[in-house]
Structure 1
Amino acid sequence: MGIEHETRQKILEHLSSDYTEAIRDPLWQNIYLTPALKKLISLGEFQKLAGIRQLGPAYLVYPGATHTRLNHSLGVFHLAKRIIRHVSVDRRSPPVSLEGVKAFLCASLLHDLGHFPYTHSFKDLPLIDHETLTGRLIMTPPFQRVLREEVNVEPYMVAAIVDEELDHHNNGEILFFRRILSGVLDPDKLDYLNRDAFFCGVPYGIQDTDFFIDKIIPTSNSLALDERGLGSVESLLFAKYQMYRSVYWHRTVRIATAMIKKAVFLGLLENDLDSTQLYGLDDAGFFRTLAIRERNYYQLARMVFERRLLKTAYEYPFDPRIHSQATDLNTRLNMENRIAAILRDRFGNGIEPWEVILDIPEPISFEVDLSIYKDEGFLPFAASGSVFSTSVVEGFTKSLRKVRLFLPPAAAREAAVYIPEIMSSLFGT
C-alpha cells in the first residue's frame, strides 16, 4: 500500500514547482497559487466571498473583525497544501493520485463558495446546506471549464470532497480527502481559529500550527496524531472553547445574530421571502434584499445594521430536560408570541411579537474522534490520557450554552422583576 514512488514524486514536484503566484496574507504571509488557481479565484462567485464577513456581526464587539470568507478560503487552501505535502512524504499514507491531490486543494479553496451572508445567522433555518450549494456551484460551467481545462481535474471529484451527498460510490480517495478537510485536524479549523483571533485582537485562538502539522500521521482512511502532538489538540480544543466564550457566542454577537435570524425566519414562514432569494448573496446584497420589504419584522435586520440592538432580559444555562422543546424554531416562535402577549397584558405596552426573541445556541461538541499514535500502536483520544475527559467536555458545553430572552430596551427594564416568573411559567419549572 502507500503512494507509489512515481506518483509521490509527481505530487511533490507539483507542490514544489507549480505554485508561483504569490498572494499576500496578513496571517500566513505569502500564499502561493498556480496560474490556473489564480484564474479559479478570479471567477465572480469566488470573488463574492470578499463581501461576506467571516464573523458576521462580531465587528460590533471587535471592530477589527472585518476579515472575509475570501481571506479564510485562501488560508484554508494554504494549510491544506502544507498538510498534504506532509502526508505525501509519509510512507503510511494511503494510495492517492496527483489528480486527487489537486482536487483536494481545489476543494479546500472553494469549500465556502456557497456560504450564506452574515456567517451563522442562517443556521437552523429551512435552507439548503451551504456545502450542497458549494457543490452545485463547482459543477456550473465557469468552474467546470477552469477546473477541467486549466487545473486538469474532474469537477465532480472537487465537489464530492466538499459535499458528502455527491459521492454515492464511497470512493476511498474522496473519503480520505474529505476527512482531512472536515475533521479534528482540519485546515478549516486551524485557519479560522488563528485568523479570527488575529483580527479580533485576542490571544485565545493562536495555535502552534507548524508543530501541529508536523505531528500528523496519515492512516488508511483519515489522519491520526503522534502522542507528542497531544498538547496541540488540547490547545486547539481550549482555544475553540475560549473563542466561543469570548467571540463567537459573545452576548452582543448572539443578540445581533438572533435578530437577523428571526427576520429571515418570519419572512420564509410568511412566504414573503423565497429561499432561493437568499442563495448567492453577500452581506450587502442580503441587506438590500431585506431593505426593500415592508413587513415590520425586517426592521430587526436594519436595527443590527444601525447598531440598535435588543437587550438581554433573561439568561439561564441550557438544560435539555427543560429547554429542549424550544430548540424547534416553530415552537420557539409560539413561546415568543406568548411572552409578547403576557407583556402587553401586564404592562399595556405596544411590544410586538417580532420584538421578542428567545435565543438558544445550537449544540456544540468538543468530542474528539481522533487516534493517537503511542508505543507503536493507535489509541482512541479518550484513552490517551488527555485532560479533556468526558466530564471536562460536558462542563465546557454547559458553561457556554445559555438560554436568553431579548427584548426592546424599555420593555426589558419595565418587566425586569417579572421576567423570571414569566420564563418559569413558560417552561413549566
Structure 2
Amino acid sequence: MASEDYGEMSREDICEYLKEKGLGKWADKFKGKSVIKLRDLKNDGFMSGMGIHPPEDRQEILDSILKIWPSAPKVFNDPIHGHMELHPLLVNIIDTPQFQRLRYIKQLGAGYFVYPGASHNRFEHSIGVGYLAGELVKALKEKQPELNINDRDILCVQIAGLCHDLGHGPFSHLFDQMFIPKATRTAKMEDWKHEDASVDMFDHLVESNEDLKWRMKACGLNLSEDLDLDLDLVFIKEMIQPPAAQEESSPQWPYKGRPEEKSFLYDIVANKRSGIDVDKFDYFARDSYHLGIKNNFDHGRFIKFARVCEVGGQKQKHICTRDKEVNNLYDLFHTRYSLHRRAYQHNVVKIIEYMIAEAFLKADKYIQFEGSKEKKSTLSEATGDKEADTKLKGQQKPPCADKQSQIEGSKRRKLNLSTATGDKEADTKLTGQQNPPCADKQSQIEGSKRRKLNLSTAIDDMEAYTKLTDCVFYQILNSTGTERDLIKAREILKEVVDRKHYRFLGEIKYEGIPTKDEISQFKKELAAALPFPQEGAPADGLTKEDFVVLPVTMDYGKKGKDPIDSMYFYNKNNPDQTFKIKREEVSKLLPVQFSETLFRVYSKKIDPKRLEAARGHFEKLKILKN
C-alpha cells in the first residue's frame, strides 16, 4: 500500500476514535464535514479552520492521531531473502508480545539436538512467509490488473502469512502431534492443530494491543466491532485456517472473507488444492540453509511464472504456472521428501521428541501458567488462551521470581537466580540453557484474571498459552518438586541433555497407516521374538514396555498421490487455457509411489547387555516379518 493511501479512515471512525481517546468534545466539528481524511488532522491549518482554536487542543488531537498514523515501511535484512521491506502495519504486529513469543519456539522442534545449525525459530520463518506472500500477490496484481487485486487484499494476504504460525506450542509440531493427542482425552482435542490456536491468538493479538485496530483502519482495512463479522479479519483467519475441503463443483462457496472470483487469494499462504504455497517456499529455503542441505527448488522462478487462470469452466480461479516449470515443481516435492527423510523424521530427532513429549505428559499437572480466568489448567491447554501463550513464548527470559525460582547446586543446596552464580553447578544450569530456569509450581505468570492453567489445559485459554514456549523444557528440568511423576519427567529430560536417549534398533516397512492397536500388537510380537528360542536359553527379561515403536510416514505432500496431478499449467501461446501434465509425459525416472510408512524401533534399555538383547529381538522379528 503506497504511503499516499494511508489515513483513509472514515469520518465516523475518526469521531469514534476521538471519543475513545477522551476528545469527544470535538467530534461535532467533524460530523459537519462531508469528507474528511485522517491525514487532514495532521494539518494544523485544517484543524484551525474547523474552529479548533486553542493550540493545545489541536496538539492533543495531533498527538492522538500520531499514535495510529502508519510509520514508514521497515527493512529487515534476512539471510534467506535479503532485504525485506515490510508494510508498517506488519511491523506493528511484529512488535507485539503475541508475535515476539515466536522467537522462543524452535522451527524444527528437537532438530537442534541433532543439527547444530538448526537454531532458527518460528519468528524469522513467519516474517519470511509474510514477505513472500506480499511478493506473490503483488506480482499477480502487476501482471494481471483484470484480477482487481486491491491494496486491502494485498495487506490481508501479508498479515495472514505473517501470523499463520502464531499458535505453535513448545518445540513446534512436537506439541500438537505428540503431546496434545495423548494429554487430552477427548476426541475434539485429539484433532487439535496449531492452526486452531493461530486463529485464536490472532484474535487475541488484535484485541489486547492498544490502538492496533485503529492502526488497521488507518491503513485501509475494514473492521467492525465484532471480529467474527469483519470481512477483512475473517479473510485473514480463513487464509490461516481454511474451512474443510469441498469439491470445487459444489454450488456453495465455503469462504466469507472474499468472493469466489478471488478464490486464488486463498492459494497463497496455505494452498489446500495443490500444496504449493509461500509457507513451503520459506521453510524449504530456510530449513535447508540452517541444516546444510541443498534446496533444489527456486521459489523466485515460480513467482515469475505464476498466473491466475479459470480452470475447467469452473468459477473458481487457480494460481497456475508454465508447462516448462513442471520439473521445478517435482523438485519442490522431492525437496519436501528429502527434508523429512534427512531432518524432520531423522531417527534421533524423533526419539528425542518422543522423550520430551513423555516428560511433558509426566509433568503436565505440575507446570502452571496464569490465564484469563480462575481455573486450574495444564501445559497442553495453554494453547487455548491467546495472551498466556504469548507471554511465555514472547519473553527472552521467562518470568521467574528471584527467590521462588530455585536451582539445585553442587551440594544440593537451593539457590535462586541472584545467588546461583556463587555455585558452579547451579551457575551452569542458569547460563547453559536458552531460557533461564523457571520454578515449577511457584513460577506463575500473571494473566488477566489469575486463572491457573497447566500444560495440557492451557490450549483452552490464550492468556495462559501466551506464556508457553520451549522454556518449559528447562522449567521442568530445573524444577525441585518431589512428586513422583515430576521426578520422572526431570530424569527423562536429563537423559536427553546427557545424550542417553533411547537407542535406535532399526526400521521395518509397513503397508498403509497403522492403528494404535496394530502398533501395540507389533510391540507384543517384538517382545516375544526371542533371539535364542532353543530350550534352556536364558530369558533376557525384556517386555513390550522396554521398546518404543514410532510409525513414520513420508510422502510428497498428498499422501499416496502424485501432487502434480492437482496442479494446472498453461503455455505461452495460450496463457488462458489450462491443462494437466501426466507423470509419464515428464520422465520415466520419476517415482511411481509417493508415500511410504516405516516402523522405527527403539530400545529404552541402553546398557550394553540389554541393548544387545533388544537388537536380537528386533533382528528376529525382522526375519519373521520378511
TM-score (norm 1): 0.81
Decide whether aligned partners of structure 1 residues 101 and 39 sit closer, same or farther in structure 2, where only a CA change above 3 A counts.
same
The answer as to 2:303 corresponding to 1:213 is yes
Decide whether aligned partners of structure 1 residues 316 and 171 sit closer, same or farther in structure 2, where only a CA change above 3 A counts.
same
Matching residue's letter, 2:333: L
Provide the C-alpha distance between the structure 2 equivalents of 1:335 and 1:273, rounded to a whole number of angstroms. Answer: 32
The answer as to 2:140 corresponding to 1:77 is no
Q: What's the offset of the Cα at 1:77?
A: 1.2
Pick 1 or 2: higher relative contact order, CA cutoff 8 A, min separation 6: 1
Q: What's the offset of the Cα at 1:82?
A: 1.0
Decide whether aligned partners of structure 1 residues 309 and 155 sit closer, same or farther in structure 2, where only a CA change above 3 A counts.
same
Contact 2:553 2:598 (8 Å CA) reproduced: no
Deviations 1:328-375 (A, max 9, x none): 3x66357557856988x93136x793x531111245334232101135
1:185 partner SS: coil
The answer as to 2:227 corresponding to 1:163 is no
Contact 2:105 2:470 (8 Å CA) reproduced: yes
1:48 partner SS: helix
Matching residue's letter, 2:612: R
- 1:4 match: none
Decide whether aligned partners of structure 1 residues 424 and 32 sit closer, same or farther in structure 2, where only a CA change above 3 A counts.
same
Q: What's the offset of the Cα at 1:306?
A: 3.7
Alignment partner for residue 130 of structure 1, among 194, 206, 218? 194
Q: What's the offset of the Cα at 1:215?
A: 0.9
Question: Which moves more between the two structures, 225-234 or 89-98?
Answer: 89-98
- 1:60 match: 113
Decide whether aligned partners of structure 1 residues 334 and 140 sit closer, same or farther in structure 2, where only a CA change above 3 A counts.
farther
Q: What's the offset of the Cα at 1:301?
A: 4.1
Alignment partner for residue 148 of structure 1, among 213, 216, 219? 213
Matching residue's letter, 1:117: P
1:118 partner SS: coil
Pairs within 5 Å for 1:224-239 = 224-239=320-335
Provide the C-alpha distance between the structure 2 equivalents of 1:139 and 1:388, rounded to a whole number of angstroms. Answer: 49
Deviations 1:123-177 (A, max 9, x none): 2642421111111111126457565321333433222221224966484367533
Q: What's the offset of the Cα at 1:213?
A: 1.0
The answer as to 2:539 corresponding to 1:346 is yes
The answer as to 2:85 corresponding to 1:32 is yes
- 1:6 match: none
Identity %: 21
- 2:503 match: 311
Matching residue's letter, 2:236: V
Decide whether aligned partners of structure 1 residues 209 and 93 sit closer, same or farther in structure 2, where only a CA change above 3 A counts.
farther
Decide whether aligned partners of structure 1 residues 37 and 404 sit closer, same or farther in structure 2, where only a CA change above 3 A counts.
same
In the alignment, structure 1 segments of 5+ residues that lack a partner are 1-9
Pairs within 5 Å for 1:331-410 = 332=519, 336=523, 346-348=539-541, 353=545, 356-362=547-553, 364-366=555-557, 367-368=563-564, 369-374=566-571, 376=574, 377-382=577-582, 385-387=585-587, 392-394=591-593, 396-398=594-596, 401-407=597-603, 408-410=605-607
Decide whether aligned partners of structure 1 residues 22 and 383 sit closer, same or farther in structure 2, where only a CA change above 3 A counts.
same
Contact 2:526 2:618 (8 Å CA) reproduced: no
Q: What's the offset of the Cα at 1:238?
A: 2.1
- 1:5 match: none
Matching residue's letter, 1:403: F
Question: Which moves more between the two structures, 273-282 or 140-149?
Answer: 140-149
2:507 partner SS: strand
Q: What's the offset of the Cα at 1:50?
A: 0.5
1:50 partner SS: helix
Contact 1:131 1:162 (8 Å CA) reproduced: yes
Matching residue's letter, 1:283: D
- 1:3 match: none
Q: What's the offset of the Cα at 1:406?
A: 0.8
Provide the C-alpha distance between the structure 2 equivalents of 1:156 and 1:92, rounded to a whole number of angstroms. Answer: 24
2:83 partner SS: strand
The answer as to 2:259 corresponding to 1:172 is yes
Provide the C-alpha distance between the structure 1 equivalents of 2:118 and 2:130, rounded to a whole number of angstroms. Answer: 21
Pairs within 5 Å for 1:274-313 = 275-276=380-381, 277-278=455-456, 279=459, 280=465, 281-288=468-475, 292=479, 294-295=484-485, 296=488, 299-313=491-505
Q: What's the offset of the Cα at 1:308?
A: 2.2
Provide the C-alpha distance between the structure 1 equivalents of 2:142 and 2:541, rounded to a whole number of angstroms. Answer: 72
Provide the C-alpha distance between the structure 2 equivalents of 1:275 and 1:57, rounded to a whole number of angstroms. Answer: 18
Provide the C-alpha distance between the structure 2 equivalents of 1:51 and 1:108, rounded to a whole number of angstroms. Answer: 19
- 2:66 match: none
1:413 partner SS: helix
1:360 partner SS: strand
- How many aligned positions are there? 404
Between Structure 1 and Structure 2, the one with more helix by share is 1
Alignment partner for residue 256 of structure 1, among 334, 352, 363? 352
The answer as to 2:276 corresponding to 1:185 is yes
In the alignment, structure 2 segments of 5+ residues that lack a partner are 7-69, 182-188, 222-231, 245-253, 310-315, 366-376, 382-454, 460-464, 531-537, 558-562
CA RMSD, 1 decimal: 3.7
Alignment partner for residue 88 of structure 1, among 131, 141, 145? 141
Q: What's the offset of the Cα at 1:310?
A: 1.0
Matching residue's letter, 1:310: Y
The structure having more radius of gyration, on CA atoms, is 2
